A and B are shown apart, each in its own frame.
Chain A
Amino acid sequence: MSGISTIWVYLNTSPLLWLAVTIAAFLAAHFVGRKLGGSPLANSVLIAGAIIIALLLVSGTPYATYFEGAQFVHFLLGPATVALAVPLFKNLDKVRPVLLPMAGALLAGSLTAIGSAVAIVAAFGAPADIIASIAPKSTSAPIAMELARSLGGVPSLAAVLVILTGITGAVIVTPLMNFLRIKDYAARGFAVGVASHGIGTARAFQVNDVAGAFAGIAMALNGALTSFLILIWSLVFA
Protein backbone atom coordinates (compact mmCIF):
# COMPACT_ATOMS: atom_id res chain seq x y z
CA MET A 1 0.00 0.00 0.00
CA SER A 2 2.78 2.43 0.84
CA GLY A 3 4.11 1.91 -2.69
CA ILE A 4 0.82 2.99 -4.20
CA SER A 5 0.59 6.02 -1.92
CA THR A 6 4.16 7.00 -2.85
CA ILE A 7 3.18 6.89 -6.53
CA TRP A 8 0.02 8.87 -5.76
CA VAL A 9 1.94 11.54 -3.83
CA TYR A 10 4.37 11.86 -6.73
CA LEU A 11 1.59 12.09 -9.34
CA ASN A 12 -0.33 14.66 -7.34
CA THR A 13 2.61 17.05 -7.34
CA SER A 14 3.08 16.81 -11.10
CA PRO A 15 0.77 18.54 -13.58
CA LEU A 16 1.04 15.51 -15.87
CA LEU A 17 -1.66 13.39 -14.16
CA TRP A 18 -4.53 15.89 -14.41
CA LEU A 19 -3.50 17.03 -17.89
CA ALA A 20 -3.71 13.40 -19.02
CA VAL A 21 -7.01 12.91 -17.16
CA THR A 22 -8.52 15.98 -18.85
CA ILE A 23 -7.67 14.71 -22.31
CA ALA A 24 -8.65 11.11 -21.51
CA ALA A 25 -12.01 12.21 -20.07
CA PHE A 26 -12.66 14.30 -23.18
CA LEU A 27 -11.80 11.37 -25.46
CA ALA A 28 -14.14 9.14 -23.43
CA ALA A 29 -16.90 11.77 -23.69
CA HIS A 30 -16.28 12.08 -27.43
CA PHE A 31 -16.47 8.29 -27.79
CA VAL A 32 -19.78 8.20 -25.89
CA GLY A 33 -21.09 11.01 -28.12
CA ARG A 34 -20.15 9.05 -31.24
CA LYS A 35 -21.85 5.93 -29.89
CA LEU A 36 -25.01 7.96 -29.35
CA GLY A 37 -24.90 9.16 -32.96
CA GLY A 38 -23.71 12.68 -32.16
CA SER A 39 -26.73 13.32 -29.91
CA PRO A 40 -26.71 16.88 -28.54
CA LEU A 41 -27.54 15.45 -25.11
CA ALA A 42 -24.14 13.77 -25.09
CA ASN A 43 -22.35 17.12 -24.82
CA SER A 44 -18.65 16.40 -24.45
CA VAL A 45 -17.98 19.35 -22.09
CA LEU A 46 -20.77 18.12 -19.82
CA ILE A 47 -19.69 14.45 -19.81
CA ALA A 48 -15.95 15.14 -19.49
CA GLY A 49 -16.63 17.69 -16.73
CA ALA A 50 -18.78 15.18 -14.83
CA ILE A 51 -16.14 12.41 -15.11
CA ILE A 52 -13.37 14.70 -13.82
CA ILE A 53 -15.50 16.17 -11.01
CA ALA A 54 -16.28 12.60 -9.87
CA LEU A 55 -12.55 11.73 -9.91
CA LEU A 56 -11.65 14.88 -7.96
CA LEU A 57 -14.31 14.19 -5.33
CA VAL A 58 -13.35 10.51 -4.96
CA SER A 59 -9.62 11.28 -4.66
CA GLY A 60 -10.19 14.36 -2.50
CA THR A 61 -8.19 16.49 -4.91
CA PRO A 62 -8.68 20.29 -4.69
CA TYR A 63 -9.51 22.22 -7.87
CA ALA A 64 -6.25 24.17 -7.60
CA THR A 65 -4.25 20.91 -7.88
CA TYR A 66 -6.37 19.83 -10.84
CA PHE A 67 -5.87 23.17 -12.58
CA GLU A 68 -2.05 22.85 -12.30
CA GLY A 69 -2.38 20.28 -15.08
CA ALA A 70 -5.52 21.50 -16.81
CA GLN A 71 -4.14 25.01 -17.33
CA PHE A 72 -2.21 23.84 -20.39
CA VAL A 73 -5.49 22.91 -22.09
CA HIS A 74 -7.21 26.03 -20.74
CA PHE A 75 -4.44 28.22 -22.16
CA LEU A 76 -5.24 27.06 -25.72
CA LEU A 77 -8.64 28.85 -25.51
CA GLY A 78 -6.80 32.08 -26.40
CA PRO A 79 -5.23 30.96 -29.68
CA ALA A 80 -8.39 28.95 -30.48
CA THR A 81 -10.46 32.14 -30.19
CA VAL A 82 -8.04 33.93 -32.53
CA ALA A 83 -8.35 30.91 -34.88
CA LEU A 84 -12.09 31.62 -35.33
CA ALA A 85 -11.04 34.38 -37.76
CA VAL A 86 -10.13 31.64 -40.26
CA PRO A 87 -13.62 30.12 -40.87
CA LEU A 88 -14.97 33.66 -40.68
CA PHE A 89 -12.62 34.75 -43.48
CA LYS A 90 -13.54 31.69 -45.57
CA ASN A 91 -17.27 32.51 -45.21
CA LEU A 92 -17.05 36.28 -45.73
CA ASP A 93 -19.03 36.09 -49.00
CA LYS A 94 -21.89 34.52 -47.03
CA VAL A 95 -21.72 37.21 -44.32
CA ARG A 96 -22.01 40.31 -46.53
CA PRO A 97 -25.58 39.75 -47.83
CA VAL A 98 -26.95 39.20 -44.30
CA LEU A 99 -25.32 42.10 -42.46
CA LEU A 100 -28.69 43.69 -41.70
CA PRO A 101 -30.34 40.51 -40.33
CA MET A 102 -27.20 39.96 -38.25
CA ALA A 103 -27.29 43.46 -36.76
CA GLY A 104 -30.98 43.18 -35.83
CA ALA A 105 -30.65 39.65 -34.44
CA LEU A 106 -27.59 40.64 -32.42
CA LEU A 107 -29.32 43.58 -30.75
CA ALA A 108 -32.56 41.67 -30.04
CA GLY A 109 -30.71 38.55 -28.86
CA SER A 110 -28.24 40.39 -26.66
CA LEU A 111 -31.00 42.39 -24.93
CA THR A 112 -33.02 39.18 -24.41
CA ALA A 113 -30.01 37.34 -22.99
CA ILE A 114 -29.29 40.02 -20.40
CA GLY A 115 -32.87 41.14 -19.68
CA SER A 116 -34.54 37.75 -19.30
CA ALA A 117 -31.84 36.33 -17.00
CA VAL A 118 -31.82 39.45 -14.81
CA ALA A 119 -35.63 39.55 -14.68
CA ILE A 120 -35.93 35.89 -13.62
CA VAL A 121 -33.41 35.99 -10.75
CA ALA A 122 -34.73 39.41 -9.65
CA ALA A 123 -38.24 37.92 -9.50
CA PHE A 124 -36.87 35.42 -6.96
CA GLY A 125 -35.58 38.32 -4.86
CA ALA A 126 -31.89 37.62 -5.55
CA PRO A 127 -29.39 40.12 -4.08
CA ALA A 128 -27.61 42.64 -6.32
CA ASP A 129 -24.36 40.65 -6.53
CA ILE A 130 -26.18 37.57 -7.85
CA ILE A 131 -28.02 39.71 -10.43
CA ALA A 132 -24.75 41.34 -11.51
CA SER A 133 -23.14 37.91 -11.87
CA ILE A 134 -25.81 36.51 -14.21
CA ALA A 135 -26.22 39.61 -16.44
CA PRO A 136 -23.26 38.81 -18.74
CA LYS A 137 -23.88 35.01 -18.82
CA SER A 138 -24.13 34.79 -22.63
CA THR A 139 -20.64 36.19 -23.25
CA SER A 140 -17.42 34.20 -23.09
CA ALA A 141 -15.94 33.58 -19.62
CA PRO A 142 -13.15 36.21 -19.54
CA ILE A 143 -15.46 39.02 -20.66
CA ALA A 144 -18.27 37.93 -18.32
CA MET A 145 -15.89 37.88 -15.33
CA GLU A 146 -14.67 41.35 -16.24
CA LEU A 147 -18.25 42.67 -16.56
CA ALA A 148 -19.49 40.99 -13.37
CA ARG A 149 -16.60 42.57 -11.45
CA SER A 150 -17.36 46.05 -12.83
CA LEU A 151 -21.05 45.64 -11.84
CA GLY A 152 -20.26 44.52 -8.28
CA GLY A 153 -20.92 40.84 -8.92
CA VAL A 154 -18.87 37.71 -8.21
CA PRO A 155 -16.52 36.96 -11.15
CA SER A 156 -16.18 33.25 -10.33
CA LEU A 157 -19.95 32.81 -10.10
CA ALA A 158 -20.23 34.61 -13.44
CA ALA A 159 -17.79 32.07 -14.91
CA VAL A 160 -19.89 29.15 -13.63
CA LEU A 161 -23.07 30.67 -15.10
CA VAL A 162 -21.29 31.24 -18.42
CA ILE A 163 -20.33 27.55 -18.60
CA LEU A 164 -23.87 26.43 -17.68
CA THR A 165 -25.31 28.78 -20.32
CA GLY A 166 -22.90 27.44 -22.92
CA ILE A 167 -23.76 23.81 -22.19
CA THR A 168 -27.52 24.56 -22.10
CA GLY A 169 -27.45 26.26 -25.50
CA ALA A 170 -25.24 23.56 -27.03
CA VAL A 171 -27.62 20.85 -25.82
CA ILE A 172 -30.91 22.47 -26.88
CA VAL A 173 -30.02 24.30 -30.11
CA THR A 174 -30.17 21.37 -32.57
CA PRO A 175 -33.44 19.77 -31.31
CA LEU A 176 -35.03 23.25 -31.02
CA MET A 177 -34.09 24.37 -34.53
CA ASN A 178 -35.03 21.01 -36.05
CA PHE A 179 -38.38 21.14 -34.25
CA LEU A 180 -39.00 24.63 -35.67
CA ARG A 181 -37.87 23.33 -39.11
CA ILE A 182 -35.31 26.12 -39.46
CA LYS A 183 -32.83 25.06 -42.12
CA ASP A 184 -30.94 28.35 -42.46
CA TYR A 185 -27.57 27.40 -40.93
CA ALA A 186 -26.39 31.00 -40.86
CA ALA A 187 -29.38 31.96 -38.67
CA ARG A 188 -29.06 28.82 -36.51
CA GLY A 189 -25.35 29.34 -35.93
CA PHE A 190 -25.76 33.06 -35.27
CA ALA A 191 -28.41 32.35 -32.63
CA VAL A 192 -26.32 29.82 -30.73
CA GLY A 193 -23.29 32.12 -30.85
CA VAL A 194 -25.27 35.00 -29.31
CA ALA A 195 -26.91 32.76 -26.69
CA SER A 196 -24.06 30.41 -25.79
CA HIS A 197 -20.66 31.91 -26.81
CA GLY A 198 -17.77 29.46 -27.37
CA ILE A 199 -19.43 26.24 -26.18
CA GLY A 200 -22.35 26.95 -28.52
CA THR A 201 -19.85 27.74 -31.26
CA ALA A 202 -18.04 24.43 -30.69
CA ARG A 203 -21.40 22.65 -31.07
CA ALA A 204 -22.23 24.63 -34.22
CA PHE A 205 -18.96 23.53 -35.84
CA GLN A 206 -19.92 19.90 -35.13
CA VAL A 207 -23.17 20.33 -37.04
CA ASN A 208 -22.23 22.56 -39.96
CA ASP A 209 -19.26 24.66 -41.04
CA VAL A 210 -21.38 27.70 -42.01
CA ALA A 211 -23.24 27.51 -38.70
CA GLY A 212 -19.88 27.41 -36.93
CA ALA A 213 -18.57 30.46 -38.76
CA PHE A 214 -21.72 32.47 -37.97
CA ALA A 215 -21.62 31.32 -34.34
CA GLY A 216 -18.05 32.58 -34.10
CA ILE A 217 -19.03 36.00 -35.47
CA ALA A 218 -22.04 36.16 -33.16
CA MET A 219 -19.94 35.28 -30.12
CA ALA A 220 -17.43 38.06 -30.84
CA LEU A 221 -20.11 40.67 -31.64
CA ASN A 222 -22.18 39.74 -28.58
CA GLY A 223 -19.14 40.04 -26.33
CA ALA A 224 -18.58 43.55 -27.62
CA LEU A 225 -22.25 44.59 -27.53
CA THR A 226 -22.88 43.14 -24.04
CA SER A 227 -19.89 45.11 -22.72
CA PHE A 228 -21.32 48.23 -24.29
CA LEU A 229 -24.89 47.66 -23.01
CA ILE A 230 -23.71 46.87 -19.49
CA LEU A 231 -21.43 49.91 -19.54
CA ILE A 232 -24.44 52.12 -20.39
CA TRP A 233 -26.60 50.33 -17.81
CA SER A 234 -24.02 50.89 -15.06
CA LEU A 235 -23.67 54.56 -16.04
CA VAL A 236 -27.44 55.10 -15.93
CA PHE A 237 -28.25 53.13 -12.75
CA ALA A 238 -25.09 53.47 -10.68
Chain B
Amino acid sequence: MSPQSETETARPALTPVAILAGFAVLLGFQLAGEIFVVATRLILPSFAFPGPVAGMLLLLVFLTVRKSLDSSTNAVASGLIGVLSLLFVPSAVGVIQYGGVLVDWGGPLLLAVVLSTLATLLVTVGTFLWIAKLTGKQSP
Protein backbone atom coordinates (compact mmCIF):
# COMPACT_ATOMS: atom_id res chain seq x y z
CA MET B 1 0.00 0.00 0.00
CA SER B 2 1.39 3.38 -0.94
CA PRO B 3 0.82 6.11 1.63
CA GLN B 4 -1.62 7.96 -0.56
CA SER B 5 -3.27 10.68 1.47
CA GLU B 6 -4.92 13.21 -0.78
CA THR B 7 -4.74 16.50 1.04
CA GLU B 8 -8.10 18.11 0.46
CA THR B 9 -7.83 21.64 1.80
CA ALA B 10 -11.16 23.37 2.11
CA ARG B 11 -11.05 26.44 -0.09
CA PRO B 12 -13.57 29.22 0.23
CA ALA B 13 -15.20 30.21 -3.05
CA LEU B 14 -13.27 33.04 -4.63
CA THR B 15 -14.52 35.72 -6.94
CA PRO B 16 -13.02 35.78 -10.44
CA VAL B 17 -11.26 39.04 -9.58
CA ALA B 18 -9.69 37.43 -6.50
CA ILE B 19 -8.36 34.59 -8.66
CA LEU B 20 -6.96 37.15 -11.08
CA ALA B 21 -5.32 38.97 -8.16
CA GLY B 22 -3.70 35.76 -6.92
CA PHE B 23 -2.40 35.07 -10.41
CA ALA B 24 -1.07 38.62 -10.67
CA VAL B 25 0.93 38.13 -7.45
CA LEU B 26 2.62 34.99 -8.84
CA LEU B 27 3.34 36.59 -12.24
CA GLY B 28 4.61 39.74 -10.53
CA PHE B 29 7.12 37.80 -8.45
CA GLN B 30 8.17 35.77 -11.49
CA LEU B 31 8.82 39.00 -13.35
CA ALA B 32 10.80 40.36 -10.38
CA GLY B 33 12.83 37.13 -10.34
CA GLU B 34 13.58 37.35 -14.09
CA ILE B 35 14.64 40.99 -13.73
CA PHE B 36 16.90 40.08 -10.80
CA VAL B 37 18.61 37.33 -12.86
CA VAL B 38 19.08 39.50 -15.96
CA ALA B 39 20.44 42.35 -13.81
CA THR B 40 22.90 39.98 -12.07
CA ARG B 41 24.15 38.83 -15.49
CA LEU B 42 25.29 42.38 -16.23
CA ILE B 43 27.91 41.90 -13.48
CA LEU B 44 28.33 38.08 -13.60
CA PRO B 45 27.77 36.99 -17.25
CA SER B 46 27.95 33.24 -16.43
CA PHE B 47 25.24 33.48 -13.72
CA ALA B 48 22.88 30.59 -14.51
CA PHE B 49 19.83 30.75 -12.31
CA PRO B 50 16.20 30.31 -13.37
CA GLY B 51 14.10 33.46 -12.94
CA PRO B 52 11.03 31.60 -11.57
CA VAL B 53 13.14 30.06 -8.76
CA ALA B 54 14.45 33.55 -7.92
CA GLY B 55 10.81 34.71 -7.95
CA MET B 56 9.86 31.89 -5.57
CA LEU B 57 12.60 32.93 -3.13
CA LEU B 58 11.48 36.58 -3.37
CA LEU B 59 7.85 35.59 -2.66
CA LEU B 60 9.02 33.50 0.30
CA VAL B 61 10.95 36.46 1.74
CA PHE B 62 7.89 38.68 1.16
CA LEU B 63 5.54 36.24 2.93
CA THR B 64 7.99 35.73 5.80
CA VAL B 65 8.39 39.45 6.37
CA ARG B 66 4.64 40.09 6.12
CA LYS B 67 3.85 36.96 8.18
CA SER B 68 0.56 36.41 6.34
CA LEU B 69 -0.78 34.88 3.16
CA ASP B 70 -3.86 36.24 1.43
CA SER B 71 -6.53 33.75 0.39
CA SER B 72 -6.35 34.57 -3.33
CA THR B 73 -2.60 33.88 -3.61
CA ASN B 74 -3.08 30.74 -1.53
CA ALA B 75 -5.90 29.46 -3.74
CA VAL B 76 -4.17 30.09 -7.07
CA ALA B 77 -0.88 28.65 -5.77
CA SER B 78 -2.61 25.50 -4.47
CA GLY B 79 -4.44 25.12 -7.78
CA LEU B 80 -1.27 25.35 -9.87
CA ILE B 81 0.66 22.98 -7.59
CA GLY B 82 -2.27 20.55 -7.79
CA VAL B 83 -1.73 20.21 -11.55
CA LEU B 84 2.06 20.56 -11.50
CA SER B 85 2.55 17.25 -13.37
CA LEU B 86 0.48 18.54 -16.32
CA LEU B 87 2.88 21.45 -16.80
CA PHE B 88 5.80 19.08 -17.57
CA VAL B 89 3.92 17.22 -20.32
CA PRO B 90 4.95 19.55 -23.22
CA SER B 91 8.65 19.19 -22.29
CA ALA B 92 8.27 15.41 -21.94
CA VAL B 93 6.78 15.18 -25.45
CA GLY B 94 9.89 17.06 -26.65
CA VAL B 95 11.83 13.81 -26.24
CA ILE B 96 10.67 12.81 -29.76
CA GLN B 97 12.91 15.50 -31.26
CA TYR B 98 16.06 13.74 -30.10
CA GLY B 99 15.57 10.20 -31.33
CA GLY B 100 19.04 10.19 -32.97
CA VAL B 101 21.10 11.00 -29.88
CA LEU B 102 18.97 8.65 -27.82
CA VAL B 103 19.56 5.82 -30.28
CA ASP B 104 23.36 6.37 -30.31
CA TRP B 105 23.82 6.92 -26.59
CA GLY B 106 20.48 5.70 -25.26
CA GLY B 107 21.80 2.72 -23.28
CA PRO B 108 24.54 4.45 -21.29
CA LEU B 109 22.43 7.60 -20.81
CA LEU B 110 19.42 5.67 -19.53
CA LEU B 111 21.63 3.58 -17.24
CA ALA B 112 23.32 6.72 -15.91
CA VAL B 113 19.98 8.45 -15.32
CA VAL B 114 18.44 5.50 -13.46
CA LEU B 115 21.49 4.56 -11.35
CA SER B 116 22.40 8.17 -10.58
CA THR B 117 18.83 9.02 -9.55
CA LEU B 118 18.69 5.96 -7.29
CA ALA B 119 22.08 6.81 -5.75
CA THR B 120 21.06 10.45 -5.25
CA LEU B 121 17.82 9.44 -3.48
CA LEU B 122 19.69 7.04 -1.16
CA VAL B 123 22.58 9.40 -0.36
CA THR B 124 20.28 12.39 0.22
CA VAL B 125 17.77 10.63 2.46
CA GLY B 126 20.58 8.80 4.30
CA THR B 127 22.56 11.97 4.99
CA PHE B 128 19.41 13.82 6.07
CA LEU B 129 18.41 11.14 8.60
CA TRP B 130 22.00 10.61 9.79
CA ILE B 131 22.60 14.32 10.58
CA ALA B 132 19.11 14.61 12.11
CA LYS B 133 20.00 11.73 14.44
CA LEU B 134 23.43 13.23 15.26
CA THR B 135 21.94 16.60 16.15
CA GLY B 136 19.06 14.90 17.97
CA LYS B 137 16.52 16.78 15.91
CA GLN B 138 14.34 14.13 14.36
CA SER B 139 11.45 15.76 12.57
CA PRO B 140 8.08 14.37 13.65
Residues of A with Cβ closer than 8 Å to B?
Answer: 22-23, 25-26, 37-40, 43-46, 48-49, 52-53, 56-57, 63, 66-67, 70-71, 73-74, 76-90, 92, 94, 97-98, 100-102, 104-106, 108-109, 112-113, 116-117, 120-121, 124, 126, 130, 134, 137-138, 140-143, 146-147, 150, 154, 156-157, 159-169, 172-178, 180, 182, 184, 186-188, 190-192, 194-196, 198-199, 201-203, 205-209, 212, 216, 218-220, 223-224, 227, 230-231
| Residues of chain B within 8 A of A66, CB atoms compared | 90, 93
> Which B-chain residue is minimally distant from A163 (CB atoms)?
B92
Chain A nearest Cβ from B33, distance in angstroms = 7
Q: Which residue of B lies closest to A213 (CB)?
A: B81
Residues of A within 8 A of B11 (CB): none
Q: Interface extent on B, as a size class?
A: 35 or more
B57 touching A85, Cβ below 8 Å: yes
Known: A40-B2, A124-B108, A173-B121. A141 touches B129 (CB 8 A): no
Task: Check if A191 sits within 8 Å of B121, measured CB to CB.
Answer: yes
Interface string of B72-116 (1 = CB under 8 A from A): 011011101111111111111111111001100101111111111
Nearest CB of chain A from residue B2's CB, rounded to whole Å = 5
CB neighbours (8 Å) of B30 from chain A are 78-79, 81-82
**With A and B bound together, what is the CA distance between A104 and B132 in angstroms?**
10
Binding site for A on B (CB under 8 A): 2-7, 23, 26-27, 29-30, 33, 46-53, 55-57, 59-60, 63-64, 69, 73-74, 76-78, 80-98, 101-102, 105, 107-125, 127-132, 135, 137-139
